[in-house]
Amino acid sequence: MGTKLDITCIQSINLFNRITGIKAQFCFNYASSLIFIVSPENFNAAIGERGNNLRRLGITFKKRIKIVAAPTPDKINRFVKAVVSPVRFNKLTVENGEVSIKAGPQAKASLIGRNHANLDQLQDILKYYFKTRSLRIV
């Protein structure tokens, strides 16, 4: 993933800004969803009244859209839950830069994804935001 934005990500952020009136900090794909990161103060405004902005974005992008508040270093658990939602996991631990997620068999399959696609995407996201070294699904 890295810190460089590609042209489609920049275009997506610009369209998000036009529709919501809120500046998105970053966007990325995860498990066929497009996820926008906004500041915590602007989270409710980005979703819009009764979810109107979220619905308009979904129709415009023809994808499932998620809006997530920008993470703080101590809120990794909340951030991961928001990104992987609706998949639920039992426990998340961080030790020496290694993240371990404990989940049931169905959730484990969803978190890993076909050909490890979801696992690789989540690992890149965590490296970018939390400077982790590795991710394990247990």
**Segments making up each domain of the chain, as ranges:** 7-69, 76-137
> Is the pLDDT score of 136 beyond 80?
yes
Task: Give the pLDDT confidence of 64-112 residue by residue, as tens digits.
Answer: 999 999 998 888 999 999 999 999 999 999 999 899 999 999 999 999 9
The amino acid that residue 4 corresponds to is: K
> Is the pLDDT score of 59 beyond 60?
yes
Helix axes 105-112, 117-130, angle to 10 degrees: 80
CATH code of domain 7-69: 3.30.300.20
Shared fold status for 7-69 and 76-137: yes
- Yes or no: say if 17 and 25 are a contact pair by the CB < 8 Å rule: no
Find the mean pLDDT for residues 47-61: 94
Residue 73 CA to residue 6 CA, distance in Å, equals: 25
- Yes or no: say if 101 and 92 are a contact pair by the CB < 8 Å rule: yes
Residue 25 CA to residue 13 CA, distance in Å, equals: 8
CA–CA–CA angle 133, 114, 78 (5° rounding) = 50
- Label residue 1 by pLDDT band (50, 70, 90): very low
CA–CA–CA angle 82, 97, 90 (5° rounding) = 40
CATH code of domain 76-137: 3.30.300.20
- Label residue 3 by pLDDT band (50, 70, 90): low
Task: Give the pLDDT confidence of 19-45 residue by residue, as tens digits.
Answer: 999 999 999 999 889 999 999 999 999
